[in-house]
Structure 1
Amino acid sequence: MLPTELIEQQQNQNKGDDDDDDDSLEGFDDDESFRGIDDDDLSVGETYSVNQTTIKSNTQFNNNNNNNNNNNNRSNPLSLPIQPNSSSSSSSPNSNSSKLIVVLMQSCLENHVQTVNSNSNRGRKTKELKYTLLNCDDHQNILAKMGKDIAATRPDITHQCLLTLLDSPINRAGRLQVYIQTTRGVLIDIHPSVRIPRTFKRFSGLMVQLLHQLSIKSITGKEKLLRVIKNPITDHLPVNSYKITLSSDSKPVKLSHYIPDLLSSDVQRDLVIFVGAMAHGPDDFADHMIDEKISISNYNLSASVACGKFCYAVEDHWNIV
């Protein structure tokens, strides 16, 4: 089950000149505590400066109630900026047009909690719950104790896919929708306008917050850019959609011919692609939902490359430049 403890944000007061903090990329400490996202830097675009955030039991989230007179009020710490050139799915002029829907299946996004001792401000020893996103590089001992496949714990694959998909012209045109389904069955809706952190350590901290809080809002707080939604995925797919998945066992097709033939029908329909965001394993994760299983290359491709090939082929067919 997802943890129920709330986040207590440690305030970073008396902050120095912003020029000294720009482009400072802090990662995880050796104690594997994750870090939150500083909204003062989120608002400027792609520079993500982070300050330490610790999850504690029996604590409540600090909303800066004691700083109401501060002229520089901070926004929700669980927030992300919106891509300025990206069209919202609800306000896009192409909202009634066909869309490409990509579902990243078997994504390895899993939180791990540890109880650690820490010293409080009063000199007392307290216990804290610290969360981190499991990965094969930093948590080999933990994964071995849990009996998990170390080589398969690859959340970086999901990160690479999201960067490829959300940076694509088809997403900027408002005709791409992305979902993630984790190995533990958690279904995540990715808003087309979200800007995913470029570095993996920041992405890991963001996923920890998402899996803990179940949603992350935009800086304005008007819309949820990342949110956990109810299963099954089929409840969120259009009725008229054509669903395909990839398999190296299938006969390779050339997407420049396959996509026009598939979408040339007079009947408007959406195209759903199920992509395995995993290091290795069987490709039967969507066999009960799909209409067709294809291969798009004579060679084994990474999930990110497969996503890019599909985006390019559909962009070319829909004349998205």
Structure 2
Amino acid sequence: MNVLHVVMAYSALELVPREIASHPQVVSYAKRRNKPPTKVILDKSYHFHAMSKLKDKEKRGRPDMVFAFLLAALSSPLNAMGKLRVYVHTLQDYVIIVNPKTKPIRSYDRFLGIMEKLFEEGRVPSEGEPLMELKNMSLERLIKNHIGADGLILLEPNAPLKHPVEIAREASEGLPVVVQGFPRGDFGLDAYKLARDKAYVFPQLLDSWMVADRIICAYENFILADRRSYK
């Protein structure tokens, strides 16, 4: 069976932009972190007032969404079996390519520190085999050139309901599954242009990590049904 590719797209993960780097809220936070203001991750929990004039502010400053997604995905049995690949595409068209050997990051503060280093250096760790790499890459390039797929399955709240097993069955043919990495609003044009199917897994809105987890669990069931997958 093909590896399952899951992408968190247009994610609200970025360093503090220069236009708000001098805001007192940002300066104070960066000082506590002992870092320059433009070297810390933008986080609405700490920078709410500073973000008030940012373009697309409703889609930005939610690194916790990426944290929860990676924690759930990297902790899954599917990842332990080597059958899962996860990616984080950001609103600014950067892509984090995650090595499946990466251990789940369980501390949010440690996660922020790792993301800050990743945005500064382009990879972590600095030497040896990279566990995470940061590339300047659009969603379309990620899907077509890196993953090698001709489309994707878009999971968004307003789409028709489908059982996770149906979606996992589609994904088993090589189509990446895409979940939203932003708290509200719509996906970008690339996502809709590449969508071969649009679906959702529950009548009510779920956290994105939970949406991804439903598909990951369904995919696991396909594999674990084959007793040869047990080690």
Normalising by the smaller structure, the TM-score range is: 0.7 to 0.9
In 2, the alpha carbon distance for the partners of 1:277 and 1:151 equals 9
- Quote the residue 1:81 is aligned against: none
- Structure 1 residue aligned with 2:13, among 109, 119, 138? 109
State the number of aligned residues.
206
Shift of the alpha carbon at 1:238?
2.6
- After superposition, residues 1-321 of structure 1 pair within 5 angstroms as 97-112=1-16, 114=21, 129-130=36-37, 131-146=39-54, 149=57, 152-217=60-125, 221-231=127-137, 232-233=141-142, 234-239=144-149, 243-260=152-169, 262=170, 269-285=173-189, 286-319=191-224
The answer to whether the 8 Å contact 1:99/1:271 transfers is: no
In 2, the alpha carbon distance for the partners of 1:255 and 1:146 equals 36
Question: SS where residue 187 of structure 1 aligns?
Answer: strand
In 1, the alpha carbon distance for the partners of 2:62 and 2:104 equals 17
Segments of structure 2 that go 5 or more residues without pairing to the other structure are 28-34
In 2, the alpha carbon distance for the partners of 1:151 and 1:255 equals 26
The answer to whether the 8 Å contact 2:12/2:59 transfers is: no
In 2, the alpha carbon distance for the partners of 1:228 and 1:290 equals 24
TM-score by length of 1: 0.58
Aligned CA distance change for structure 1 residues 147 and 166 (closer, same or farther; 3 Å): same
Question: SS where residue 195 of structure 2 aligns?
Answer: coil
The answer to whether the 8 Å contact 1:136/1:151 transfers is: no
Shift of the alpha carbon at 1:255?
2.0
Aligned-partner residue type, residue 108 of structure 1: A
The answer to whether the 8 Å contact 1:144/1:150 transfers is: no
Question: SS where residue 245 of structure 1 aligns?
Answer: strand
Shift of the alpha carbon at 1:284?
5.0
Shift of the alpha carbon at 1:224?
0.6
Question: SS where residue 174 of structure 1 aligns?
Answer: coil
Question: SS where residue 208 of structure 1 aligns?
Answer: helix
Q: Report which of the two has the higher share of helix.
A: 2
Identity across matched positions, percent? 22
Identify the structure with bigger relative contact order (alpha carbons < 8 Å, sequence gap 6+).
Answer: 2
Question: SS where residue 113 of structure 2 aligns?
Answer: helix
Shift of the alpha carbon at 1:296?
1.3
The answer to whether the 8 Å contact 2:11/2:66 transfers is: yes
Segments of structure 1 that go 5 or more residues without pairing to the other structure are 1-96, 117-127
* CA deviations over 1:179-220 (Å, ceiling 9, x no partner): 1111111111011111242121211111111011111128xx
